[in-house]
Amino acid sequence: MNTHKTALITGATSGIGRATAKIFAEHGIDLILCGRRTEKLEEVKKELEKSVKVITLSFDVSNREAVFSAINSLPEEWKRALNLLINNAGNAHGLDPFQDASLDDFDAMIDSNVRGLLNVSKAVVPFLIENTSGHIVNISSIAGKETYAKGSVYCATKHAVEAISKGMRIDLLPHGIKVTGIAPGAVETEFSMVRFKGDQQRANAVYQGFKPLVAEDIADAVYYAVSRPDHVQIADITLFPKAQASGTLFERKTD
């Protein structure tokens, strides 16, 4: 069994994906960095290739042909080495009641959070099976375990991630491939800026009055999961900031 680790990370240009790439590099894990923003990918590559081998792939996870073309274009030595998949790419769009929400926003969330995860996983899993070892980490959300007002479709996509993770764990069991689901609560990244379409005031209000998690907190959890002994499989991790008790309940300071 190949004990050296090589990871493919989607959404690696910022936030949790970039933080995960950084902690992996610190621990000697070679990297296949994936994202839509080519310049950002090269920026991360330049930062991390001093420590480990790094290759970049630019594609939109929701574009099936682009996903398969990019991943199948990997050099053979990278395909043979690949044993970690971090499905991090995803987003939220809008926070409106169902009756007022945009169908375009629904499509965008389903395309990235569900179709994107499926596209990348289907492209990568054959290599994990062939390499007779592997570990898939799917970044979910507390929204995958609860449903809250004005988030019906986003919550639905993350519930799908939870179900897909469980199904993968069952189906890939005979191949020795581990599957971990990681469900963060409130994490301060670009996430809220995307959700509120660049409205900085609304994005800031999400984290007002408490200290949220940061991308590095989630990256620590990802690394913890993939660095356990071979016989240990972390099935699920849910992370909250100290001030959060559920998907919508926060203790906010008013001063």
Catalytic residues: 154
How many whole angstroms separate alpha carbon 203 and alpha carbon 186?
12
How many whole angstroms separate alpha carbon 229 and alpha carbon 244?
31
- Residue 238's H or E segment, with its range, is strand 236-239
Residues 6+ apart with CB under 8 A from 216: 19, 23
C-alpha pair distances (Å), 35 with each of 66, 130, 211: 12, 25, 28
C-alpha pair distances (Å), 79 with each of 29, 51, 72, 242: 15, 20, 8, 40
What's the number of CA atoms in the CB half-sphere (13 Å) around residue 168? 28
Token couple for 45: 């590559």
